[in-house]
Amino acid sequence: MKCTRICPVGIITVKSVKAGPDEDLGMLPDGNPKKMHVVQFDIDFSKCVYCGLCVDVCDTKSLHWRQPQKESTFSRNELFFDFVKIPHEERQAMIAKDDERKAAAAEARKAKAAAKKKPKPETDDDADSAVKAAGAEDIKSDTAEKAETGEAAG
């Protein structure tokens, strides 16, 4: 999301998981259909500089600019907001389901790549190389045997 990238102090954390094809999540404020479940949307207002950049770049118009309404506090925890209303257990289930979907897709890609790979047919050049390599091994063995028996290589 653009808001997380543009924030000069990095106070916005957003994590989402892809919705299933059979899920209707409704519409975004800009009129496009929702395609993702937002499982984390946190803003730490204790570090906010109130620049408004996040609001300016928000594609979905989900962020709105208002003057700070929060009174002063001595606890930073009171300035940390989690805007996701989904229960924690349900969030974890969505994340696990998304991880399984990603793993299955990765496995399918691997299988497809393996199916595309075909054994390379041996060419005459490859056969010649193999023969030369075998001959070089024979020469090395002969030289080693002569060296062990004390015969001069020549």
- Work out the average pLDDT over 42-66: 83
Quick check: 72 pLDDT over 80? no
What pLDDT sits at residue 117?
76
Confidence of residue 153 (pLDDT cuts 50, 70, 90): very low
Quick check: 91 pLDDT over 70? yes
Q: Among 12, 80, 68, 45, which Cα is nearest to 2's?
A: 12
What pLDDT sits at residue 154?
46
Confidence of residue 9 (pLDDT cuts 50, 70, 90): very high
| The token pair that represents 38 in the structure block | 């937002």
The residue type found at 141 is: S
- Work out the average pLDDT over 98-116: 88
CA distance 42 to 81: 6
Quick check: 41 pLDDT over 60? yes
pLDDT top residue among 138 and 18: 18
